[in-house]
Structure 1
Amino acid sequence: MTYDLSATPAAELEVRIAQLQERLRQKEVQAALIVQKTDLYYFSGTSQQGWLYVPDTGEALLMVFKEFERAKQESQLVDVIPLVSPKKIPDQLQLMGLVLPSVLGMELDVLPVNLFSQYQKIFADAKIVDVSTEIRLVRAVKSSYEIDRIRKACALSDQVALRVPELLVEGKTEVQLAGEIEAYARSLGHQGIVRMRLWGSEMFYGHLMSGSSAAVPSYLASPTGGEGVSSMIGQGAGYKKIGRNEPVLVDYVFALNGYLSDHTRIFSLGQLPDELMQAHEAMLAIQEEVKKLAVPGVLTGDLYEQMIALAEKKGYGENFMGVGDRKIRFTGHGVGLELDEFPFIAKGQTLPLAAGMVIALEPKAIFPGKGVVGIENTHLVTEQGLESLTTLDNTIRII
């Protein structure tokens, strides 16, 4: 059994909250009220419905609407209480001896306007400001506890990819193959939900696409799209039958005990055209170069520009990370509890890399009408560069 029901250690939560409190003090925010599910889990150890109040000093208070008894078991915080309505929060804070804040931080990057208005009425005398950046910066650098969990997810990403050759058959539809691989991932303990923060973004297990369908663009912030099974979904595996001598892209996320691994490998029934084989080798070369360049202190925007320059130097500027004016303006992203965490290896980003960050690096070349080649691995930022946590052979697997 791979799934781990053990609670996030109290010491882990204490460090995370202390780091957030330091950032609140720097921003002159008296307290944060955390409601977004992933942030709530990160700082409290439970995703049960409720509100986490973090003053700039002192103990955090977890107030739970549903389900209190479960939250009490899952969270290692000292103060966990039931609460029937957010309207009761100010009274509860005062009962606990806490002073109501004049400046309250919330996750305004994801909080709907109607809920914002509700909380503004509840905290009528407070100015509500955005602390989502501060929260995401705390989450960007992973602890040894988190890195260990990500390593385990990465090992299972490799295991899922190893299963593909056993299931890949000419004439099988993409969605059929996807279902078989996803069932296998589920049997390994995949949690079934891949969380993303960006509004309107969503993903099932990932993308499995063959040949020309992999190069079909979609709304998703991804260099690959896919036809999907309907216009309502508009991404991922569709009903195309897998043929010979075409790249089969398996770009899957393994979600284990909350933490994610992002992973892409290319397969083919028979030899691919030289054009695609050479492009894949170029993407691997870009990855290896960037692994050396990506050391602590390097600005993520500069790293992006270096990858763009490498792709152009190798003759793949027109195909790198998309085609035409809808190219994706990033080449990597942070990975943790969500698929789109800080940092972003993206145009114009000024965040420096730091040891302990975990990023998915994904140099890919898109050829409309032919397919997609390239690689994606999940990496740990170290003083020496990137350490790949997904270790399966990166070359195209010819079957």
Structure 2
Amino acid sequence: MVITNQGVRIVFENNQTCYTPQEELFTRIERLQGHLLTAGMQAALIVQNADLFYFSGTCQDAHLLIPARGEPLLMVRKNYERALEESALDKIIAVQSYKDIGRSIAGSLKNRGGIGLELDVLPANLFFRYKKMLEPLEIIDVSGAIREIRMIKSPYEIECMKECIRVTSEMYNEVPNLLKEGMTEIELSSRLELLMRVKGNQGNPRLRAFNQEAPPHVLSGRNSAYPSFFDGPTGGAGLSPAFPQGPGFKTIGRNEPILVDFSAVINGYVVDHTRIFSIGPLSDKLVEAHNTALEIKRRFIQEIKPGANGKDFYDMAVNMAEKAGLSSHFMGSGVHFVGHGLGLELDELPVIAKNHHVTLQSGMVLALEPKFVFPGEGTVGVEDTFVLTESGLEQLNMLDDSIKIL
């Protein structure tokens, strides 16, 4: 994929690294400015890395001031030279301290009114620092508006995610060549991670939720149904109580489901897929459960359209699982969602979940993941990345979703 920035062709090693075009940044900023004007706020101050990258194109140690009217100001503590290289914004200045940031903001805004901060992710100690620094401005939570803006992906963002899917698909196609009976989960995971890393995968994806982390879930048999703190259908034992999820030292055996759930990240953008492998056939019960997951996926593809209520599709999936006699296994214990948004973070909006009413819109990118968890035996199911278009769901990856028996 070739990305241009201000009309300049930029090509890096493996064509993986790219800068966000200025026009793309300005479009995003204008959408936030529209919200600020409607809410009667003077400005927003962006500090969290994913949001900072979304609106400025850089993740350097910086603060981005977006006024309700006028040009944004990027204030960089470290590294200023890299921020100049990475960001297509016009007003970028070097600052040394929070006092410098406060003075720059005071020089740009009136000394009254509201200023938005990302209160869903801002640590309390920083909140009190900003509160003092920004007085007499009133701090208002702008995180909800930012998440809703980021929820709708531009054609540029979808192209970034398609590049990520290309790399992910190459990895999944190599699983049968690397998977061997007797190897450990962590060995298989490491080999798959290496394939991804050399192609530009940045590693674990960003999550917005506090204390949530998402390593690759390469899990076999009973370990794929071993519960953990992770807010998802699968957990895994992990390597130690210090990181109690994901692949561990369990040996991969025959006739057990081997779940490969990777969230690859290229140029900041996340895609999320799950496929099931097995060395030898699985029990009829697991095969039937997997086929039910595929039926749920097909119904999603047939029926999800812009304007629909996302909750209805969670309810539909639950009903299909119940009719198949699998309701107690659907999505594992304590999990009440079947899909989530993707973008610069793994847990973006919307969420297709119980009691979560959301109007689905064209431009949303969704990971839909109907799965069935059988304690002591394993997990089966599927996960794919889709973009919602005016005509319905478009699956971005073309991987075979049947159980791959080796």
Interval containing the TM-score (normalised by the shorter chain): over 0.9
Cα distance in 2 between the residues matched to 1:338 and 1:227: 24
Higher mean Cα deviation, 20-29 or 168-177?
20-29
1:369 corresponds to which of 363, 366, 376? 376
Give the structure 2 partner of residue 281 of structure 1. Answer: 291
Deviations along 1:173-206, one digit per CA (max 9) or x if unpaired, are 11111111111111221112311110001123x1
Cα distance in 1 between the residues matched to 2:323 and 2:391: 25
Cα distance in 1 between the residues matched to 2:54 and 2:145: 14
> How do 1:228-377 and structure 2 match up within 5 A?
228-322=238-332, 326-377=333-384
Q: Secondary structure at the match of 2:314?
A: helix
Instruction: Work out the percentage of aligned pairs sharing the same amino acid.
Output: 46
Higher mean Cα deviation, 151-160 or 218-227?
151-160
- 2:98 corresponds to 1:91: no
TM-score (norm 1): 0.96
Deviations along 1:22-79, one digit per CA (max 9) or x if unpaired, are 1112222211000000000000000001100011111111000000010011111110
Cα distance in 2 between the residues matched to 1:35 and 1:380: 28
Give the structure 1 partner of residue 170 of structure 2. Answer: 159
How many residues of Structure 1 are paired with residues of Structure 2 in the alignment? 394
Cα distance in 2 between the residues matched to 1:378 and 1:368: 27
- Aligned partners of 1:284 and 1:374 also within 8 Å: yes
Higher mean Cα deviation, 128-137 or 304-313?
304-313
- Aligned partners of 2:371 and 2:381 also within 8 Å: yes
* AA of the residue aligned to 1:368: P
Q: Secondary structure at the match of 2:289?
A: helix
* AA of the residue aligned to 1:13: L
- Aligned partners of 1:90 and 1:100 also within 8 Å: no
Give the structure 1 partner of residue 185 of structure 2. Answer: 174
- 2:392 corresponds to 1:382: no
- Aligned partners of 1:279 and 1:316 also within 8 Å: yes
Give the structure 1 partner of residue 128 of structure 2. Answer: 117
The unaligned stretches of length 5 or more in structure 2 are 1-12
Q: CA deviation at 1:100?
A: 4.0
Q: Secondary structure at the match of 1:265?
A: strand
Cα distance in 2 between the residues matched to 1:27 and 1:299: 26
Cα distance in 2 between the residues matched to 1:352 and 1:85: 43
The unaligned stretches of length 5 or more in structure 1 are none
- 2:34 corresponds to 1:27: no
Q: Secondary structure at the match of 2:293?
A: helix
Give the structure 2 partner of residue 138 of structure 1. Answer: 149
Cα distance in 1 between the residues matched to 2:18 and 2:201: 16
* Aligned-CA RMSD value: 1.2
Cα distance in 2 between the residues matched to 1:344 and 1:26: 26
* AA of the residue aligned to 2:337: F
> How do 1:200-215 and structure 2 match up within 5 A?
200-204=211-215, 206-215=216-225
- Aligned partners of 1:93 and 1:99 also within 8 Å: no
Give the structure 1 partner of residue 137 of structure 2. Answer: 126
Q: CA deviation at 1:240?
A: 0.7
Cα distance in 2 between the residues matched to 1:114 and 1:390: 42
Higher mean Cα deviation, 34-43 or 381-390?
381-390
Cα distance in 2 between the residues matched to 1:132 and 1:397: 42
Cα distance in 2 between the residues matched to 1:110 and 1:300: 25
> How do 1:211-226 and structure 2 match up within 5 A?
211-226=221-236
- Aligned partners of 1:292 and 1:384 also within 8 Å: no
- 2:193 corresponds to 1:186: no
- Aligned partners of 1:3 and 1:189 also within 8 Å: no
Cα distance in 2 between the residues matched to 1:87 and 1:275: 64
Q: Secondary structure at the match of 2:328?
A: coil
Cα distance in 2 between the residues matched to 1:333 and 1:319: 19
Cα distance in 1 between the residues matched to 2:61 and 2:204: 17
Cα distance in 2 between the residues matched to 1:30 and 1:283: 48
* AA of the residue aligned to 2:116: G
* AA of the residue aligned to 1:160: M
Q: CA deviation at 1:4?
A: 3.1
Q: Secondary structure at the match of 2:288?
A: helix
Q: Secondary structure at the match of 1:331?
A: strand
Deviations along 1:217-269, one digit per CA (max 9) or x if unpaired, are 11011100001110111101011100001000000011111111101000000
Q: Secondary structure at the match of 2:121?
A: coil
1:72 corresponds to which of 78, 84, 87? 84
Q: CA deviation at 1:101?
A: 4.9
- Aligned partners of 2:42 and 2:109 also within 8 Å: no
Give the structure 1 partner of residue 399 of structure 2. Answer: 392
Cα distance in 1 between the residues matched to 2:33 and 2:88: 18
Deviations along 1:277-319, one digit per CA (max 9) or x if unpaired, are 1110110010010122221111222221122112112221111
Cα distance in 1 between the residues matched to 2:371 and 2:308: 22
Cα distance in 2 between the residues matched to 1:264 and 1:343: 19
Q: CA deviation at 1:92?
A: 1.5
